[in-house]
Amino acid sequence: MKNILKISNIEKYYGNKSNITKAINNISFEVEEGEFVAIMGASGSGKTTLLNCISTIDKVTSGHIFVGDEDITTLKGNALNKFRREELGFIFQDFNLLDTLTAYENIALALTIQGKNPKEIEKRILDIAKKLNIKDVLKKYPYQMSGGQKQRVASARAIITNPKLILADEPTGALDSKSAKMLLENFEYLNKDFKATILMVTHDAFTASYASRVIFIKDGKIFNEIRKGEDSRKEFFDKIIDVVTILGGDLSDVV
Amino acid sequence: MLFKLSLKNIKKSIKDYAIYFFTLILGVAIFYVFNAIESQTVMLQVSKSTHELIKLMNTMLSGVSVFVSFILGFLIIYASRFLIKRRKKEFGIYMTLGMSKGKISKILLFETLLIGIISLIVGLGLGVILSQLMSIIVANMFEADMTKFAFTFSSSAVGKTILYFGIIYLLVMIFNTFSVSKCKLINLINANRKNEKIKVKNPVICTLIFIISVGLLGYAYYNVTALVNSLTQSKLILMIIFGCIGTFLLFWSLSGLILRIVKSIKKIYLKGLNCFVLKQIDSKVNTTVFSMTIICLMLFLTISILSSGLSLKNSMTSNLKELAPVDIELYKPLDISGNDIYGVPYSNEVIEDSKTSVKDTLDRMNFDYNKNFKDMIDFNSYATNELTVRNTLGNYLSEVENAFPALNLDTAEEIVKISDYNKVAKLYGNKTYELDDDEYMIIADFDSMIEIRNKSLSDNTNITLLGKTYSPKYSECKDGFISMSSNHINTGIILVPDDAVDESIRARNHLIANYNANDEEGRKNIENQLTSDELGDIVNTTLLEASSKISIYEASIGLSALITFIGIYLGIIFLISSAAILALKELSESSDNKERYTILRKIGVDEKMINKSLFVQIAIFFLLPLFIAIIHSIFGLMFANEILITFGNEHLLTSIIVTACILIFIYGGYFIITYLCSKNIIKS
């Protein structure tokens, strides 16, 4: 399988010479095309910093991040924005749909800011709406939609640009259990049916159990890594809990 | 402790307060400038009659100030309401920490007080500087001696400004306390969470309303311009109401309609952030239809008042040189009988006096005209009921009757011998004419009347005078006048050959002359002799009247200054009010929009695109009411031109340019501040 994301020896320091905080301390790993990877760790372990570096919101102190064949740590200015627009998709816990726009327009926005041709935009939206079963809500505003519909619209927006990588930061953090389950099933669907590569950051074992691989981070370093393989989700969840237990009492809320 | 908190709050939110401050300072400064005119004019070296006019102007200005303070009061309360709305969450946090509503009110009280004091100090400072500039304008207008002018500081104007704004700030405090006491904690905490419902207007109704609004406006425009001459007062009021309703409906339908149209053009709609920008504007206009209407109408008033006020002043002074070419014109009616215009019978003395000439009356006044006057021309003008306006219209009588119902057709025409007119014209520097035995001509300079008369003249309409018929020499009225005035008001004088009239129909005696003096001082002395109080009872026994160059100048300057000052005053206040409301509206929404921009950033929109979209949004929000106001103004100014035609309109273009400059400066200033503040608010 082809590598979508390759992280090699990245470090991220905060502060000045006299008082350095190593948020990320020499992390390397790779994500293959079509993988669904969860990064777990307690608050302060550096997992969000890692995600920020991958999504180019933050810059690494040293090391390299390759998305496809491109080293994104060398990108600057407009090239950076272009990269973020065209190669990455984001899914947020509170959907982040614009309340003034209809579902159609919300999805279209991801393409219009890339300067795509209107005809193509229309075709692609109808196409993805059919697949995600949101054809009926395209003309509706977010306040007229159910939570599940909003979630699917947000997903449609994230994948319509055919991003190499979909990033999600604590996607279930503020959701009730029903909505969280809905979101995660949606992720599974995107991963399986759309072959989308997903990288998700979470501190919640239940959420992580939907992934195909979980990377544990502690104090800015990779602590462990487990794969789902042929396990059922329940078995995988138990394995995650085992690692969390070894990891220490830091992860208190494992559900 | 609370005071410290207030101080910190102001420091912290100085950016939010920028527009509020800007508005307060401008308001205070302008209020001071116009109220300080009084003390500036006291110092001016001007004549007695000008002084009277200045007094009238100051009374009017202070009256207008009361009106202005009402507008500013509403504006400031409106602005503070926005600020409170923006800070609901902050108050919620105070209250969860256990602070009582009373204490929150106190914090607000301190803040209002502090802002009030600071804005008063800065505003007055600015006002004092600006009023020096105003002094130059004032002195220029009254053509006063500038050499004696010094730096002025009007303590009475300062007192008045502090009093008026003190009352306004007090009202703001009461209002703030009231709105805090009404708040519920849960609403304050959740103030930021807002679920906007998008109302989608029915496109058919939108189109229908749009057509109705355009129809209403078009009808009103047509009535005040093309049909202006048959416009009655009640109809004018109806047209104004139509205009207001039309504007409201236009704004109501416009946003939905534009959205609809642009949506159908996929190339524009699905490009960059266009659909987002469009929706933003749509929701903004949708929720502010009423304020948009008010703002548009205020801008319309601003443009109209400023343009016509400024042009009035310009055209008045330039007309004067042409319209008052000699020092004095005296005239009196001859051979009167019966009652005066109030129905009171004329006294015997007056009737006796009317049998004599102007010179005879001057003799009785012991005024030595041979010594004091030079270039004297005296002559009679004639009038007979057999030759009224009706008789000169010929075939056009019924048409004119229909088109100008207000015109009194039974007024006897003033008739002057051609040789007398030529003498006057020569002295005035106007063109002279020749007439054959059976010819007549008309001189006039009042546009509307010229239009009517030209029709009958070009139709070769004959007139009959004392049994003899005369035909017109020219097919149109010729420019000219006899009586001096500050405006073009000669509706028509019929010139006939010298032997066409006889003394049986004499109506008026005229005496036109220059003062026999070489300098301004000498001329004023002569004028004072004519108007001195020592003449006593003689003035009551004669109908002698006079218009002099000096009095026309002074009256005209005073009047134009009065109109110009009030025009500028109101215009600028209206302008500030509308710009401030727009700015506040925009800023209060920027914080709601902040979340939207955060989302845009997350999906990969870069800052350049975001700033551009913000700029476009604010620009359209500011330009939309201005654009419609400009369209209104085009017709409004056409109307003003028609009804103020006597004032002349040669300088409209200059004053429109000046108006545009003021508009760009103030409105543009608000626009830029709004853009910068909004950019700051939505910054990540």
Lowest pLDDT segment from B41-55, B263-277, B373-387, B559-573:
B41-55
Q: Are residues B165 and B130 in the same domain?
A: yes
- Answer whether B198 touches A (CB < 8 Å): yes
For residue B184, pLDDT over 70 is answered with yes
Q: CB contact, 8 Å: B603 with chain A?
A: yes
Given a contact cutoff of 8 angstroms between Cβ atoms, the answer to whether A226 and A192 are in contact is no
The SS3 call for residue A42 is coil
Biggest alpha carbon–alpha carbon distance for chain B: 103
The answer to whether B283 faces chain A, any CB pair under 8 Å, is yes
Same domain assignment for residues B113 and B257:
no
Instruction: Tell me whether residues A113 and B603 touch, CB distance under 8 A.
Output: yes
For residues A25-41, average pLDDT: 90
Tokens of A251: 């992860």
> Strand, coil or helix: what is A70?
strand
Is residue A190 within 8 A of residue A155, CB to CB? The reply is: yes
Indicate whether B230 and B272 sit together in one domain.
yes
| SS3 category, A103 | helix
**What band does B313 get if pLDDT is binned at 50, 70 and 90?**
low
High-pLDDT (> 90) share of chain B, % = 14
Pick the range with the lowest mean pLDDT from A137-146, B156-165, B535-544: B535-544
Which has the higher per-residue pLDDT, B17 or B122? B122
Going by pLDDT thresholds of 50, 70 and 90, the confidence category of residue B646 is: very low
Domains, chain A, ordered by start: 3-247 (3.40.50.300)
B317 pLDDT band (50/70/90 cuts)? Answer: low
Confidence of residue B644 (pLDDT cuts 50, 70, 90): low
How do beta strands B468-472 and B414-417 pair? unpaired
What mean pLDDT do residues A51-71 have? Answer: 86
**pLDDT higher than threshold 50 for residue B268:** yes
pLDDT of residue B631: 92
Q: Are residues B256 and B172 in the same domain?
A: no
Examine the domain organization and report whether B310 and B448 are in the same domain. no
The C-alpha of A45 sits at a distance from chain B's nearest C-alpha, in angstroms, of: 23
- State the DSSP code for B605: -
Average pLDDT on B184-205 reads: 66
* Helices B2-12 & B101-141 angle (0-180, nearest 10): 50
Residue A234 distance to chain B (closest CA, Å): 34
Same domain, B264 and B278: yes
pLDDT for the residue A254: 46
Q: What is the pLDDT of residue B597?
A: 87
- Check whether residue B371 and residue B519 sit in a common domain: yes
Q: Is residue B547 part of a domain?
A: no
A93: pLDDT confidence band, cut at 50, 70 and 90?
low
Query: Tell me, what's the pLDDT at B262?
Result: 84
* pLDDT, position B143: 64
Q: Report which of residues B509 and B11 the model is more confident about.
A: B509
| pLDDT recorded at residue A196 | 85
| Mean predicted lDDT score pLDDT of chain B | 82
Higher pLDDT, B448 or A141: A141
**Does B280 touch chain A if contact means CB atoms closer than 8 Å?**
yes
Q: Are residues B519 and B454 in the same domain?
A: yes
Name the least confident of A54-63, A167-176, B108-117, B419-428.
Answer: A167-176
In the predicted structure, residue A249 carries a pLDDT above the cut 90: no
Buried b / exposed e across A152-166, counting CB within 10 Å, b at 16+? bbbbbbbbbbebbbb
Instruction: Determine whether the interchain pair B271/A88 forms a contact, defined as Cβ–Cβ distance below 8 Å.
Output: no
Q: How far is CA B412 from CA A1, B189, B508, B679, in A?
A: 109, 80, 13, 71
- Same domain? B206 vs B271: yes
The ipTM is 0.78
* Mean of pLDDT values over B403-416: 81
Nearest CA in chain B to A57: B602
Substitution target from B259, B266, B270, B277 for chain A, most A beta carbons within 10 A: B270
Task: Name the residue among B272, B599, B606 with its Cβ closest to that of A112.
Answer: B272
- Mean pLDDT over A162-181 rounds to 80
Query: DSSP secondary structure string, B219-244?
Result: HHHHHHHTTGGG--HHHHHHHHHHHH
Return the minimum-mean-pLDDT range out of B115-129, B304-318, B357-371, B613-627. B304-318
- Say whether pLDDT at B279 is over 60: yes
* Cβ–Cβ gap B270/A98 under 8 Å: no
Optimal mutation site among B196, B198, B265, B280, interface A, most CBs of chain A within 10 A: B198
CB A200 within 8 Å of CB A37: yes
| Rg of chain A in Å (alpha carbons) | 18
Cα–Cα distance, A223 to A47 (Å, whole number): 12
Instruction: Please check whether residue B330 lies inside any domain of the structure.
Output: no
Inside any domain, residue B36: yes
- Is A55 an interface residue toward B (CB < 8 Å)? no
Residue B172 has pLDDT above 70, yes or no: yes
B439-454 exposure pattern, b = at least 16 Cβ within 10 A, e = fewer = bbbbbbbbeebbbbbb
In a shared domain, residues B282 and B300: yes
In sequence order, what are the residues at sequence separation of 6 or more whose Cβ sits closer than 8 angstroms to the Cβ of residue B667?
B575, B579, B622, B626
A78 — pLDDT class (breaks 50, 70, 90): confident
Inform me whether the C-beta atom of residue B193 falls under 8 Å from chain A C-beta atoms: no
Residue ranges of A 110-149 with Cβ closer than 8 A to chain B: 110-113, 115, 118-119, 121-122, 141, 143
More confident residue, B312 or B202: B202
pLDDT confidence bin for A176, thresholds 50/70/90: confident
Is B438's pLDDT higher than 80?
Answer: yes
Domain-embedded: residue B328: no
Among B496, B516, B542, identify where a domain stops: B542
**Residue B121: pLDDT above 90?**
yes
Question: B197-201, B263-267, B400-404 — which one is most confidently predicted on average?
Answer: B263-267
Cβ partners under 8 Å of residue B138, min gap 6: B37, B40, B41, B44, B144, B561
- Count of domains for chain B: 3
- Measured between alpha carbons, how far is B124 from B105 in angstroms, rounded to an integer? 28
Predicted local confidence at residue B546, as pLDDT? 84
Residue B282 has pLDDT above 90, yes or no: no
Residues B4-25 have a mean pLDDT of 78
- Residue B331 covered by a domain: no
For residue B630, being part of any structural domain is answered with: yes
Domain boundary, last residue among B480, B515, B542: B542
Q: What is the pLDDT of residue A98?
A: 86
The more confident residue out of B647 and A99 is A99
Do B214 and B155 fall into the same domain? no
In which band, very low, low, confident or very high, does the pLDDT at B250 lie, cut at 50, 70 and 90? very high
Chain B nearest C-alpha distance from A18 (Å): 29
Distance (Å, whole) CA B587 – CA B675:
9
Which of B273-277, B396-400, B612-616 shows the lowest per-residue confidence on average (mean pLDDT)? B396-400
Same domain, B402 and B485: yes
Q: How much is the pLDDT for A255?
A: 45
Sort out which chain B residues have CB atoms less than 8 A from A122's CB and list them: 266, 270
pLDDT at A250 over 60: no
* Average pLDDT over every residue of A190-217: 88
Would strands A213-218 and A221-227 be described as parallel, antiparallel, or unpaired?
Answer: antiparallel
User: Nearest CA to B35 among B2, B77, B72, B66?
Assistant: B66
Q: Is the pLDDT of residue B125 over 90?
A: yes
For residue B32, pLDDT over 50 is answered with yes
B199 and chain A: CB distance < 8 Å anywhere? no
pLDDT, average across residues B92-98: 82
Partner A contacted by B262 (CB < 8 A): no
Task: pLDDT band for A188, please (50, 70, 90 cuts).
Answer: confident
Q: Can you tell me the distance from the alpha carbon of B552 to that of B323, in angstroms, rounded to the nearest whole number?
A: 10
Interchain proximity A113–B609, CB inside 8 Å: yes
A90, A97, A113 ranked by CB distance to B273: nearest: A113
Average pLDDT over residues B28-45: 78
- Highest average pLDDT, of A26-30, B182-186, B546-550, B595-599, comes from A26-30
Say whether pLDDT at B664 is over 80. Answer: yes
How much is the pTM? 0.72
The pLDDT assigned to B76 comes to 87
Q: In whole angstroms, what is the distance from residue B171 CA to residue A64 CA?
A: 63
Highest average pLDDT, of A13-22, B163-172, B657-666, comes from B163-172
Distance between A221 CA and the closest CA of chain B, angstroms:
27
Boundary (domain end) residue, out of B509, B542, B575: B542
Residue B86 confidence (pLDDT) above 80: no
Q: Tell me if B619 is assigned to some domain.
A: yes
pLDDT at position B148: 59
Task: Select, from the ranges A167-181, A195-209, B302-316, B600-614, the one with the highest average predicted confidence (pLDDT).
Answer: A195-209
Q: Are B358 and B511 in contact (CB under 8 A)?
A: yes
Provide mean pLDDT across the span B613-630.
91
Please state the length of chain B: 684
Give the number of other CB atoms < 10 A from CB of residue A219. Answer: 15
Q: Do A108 and B283 touch (CB under 8 A)?
A: no
> B276 and A109: CB-CB below 8 Å?
yes
A 10 A CB-CB count for B588 gives 17
Neighbours of A17 (CB within 10 A): 6
Range of the domain at B589: 197-322+553-665+675-684
Q: Report d(CA B684, CA A58) in Å as an integer.
A: 14
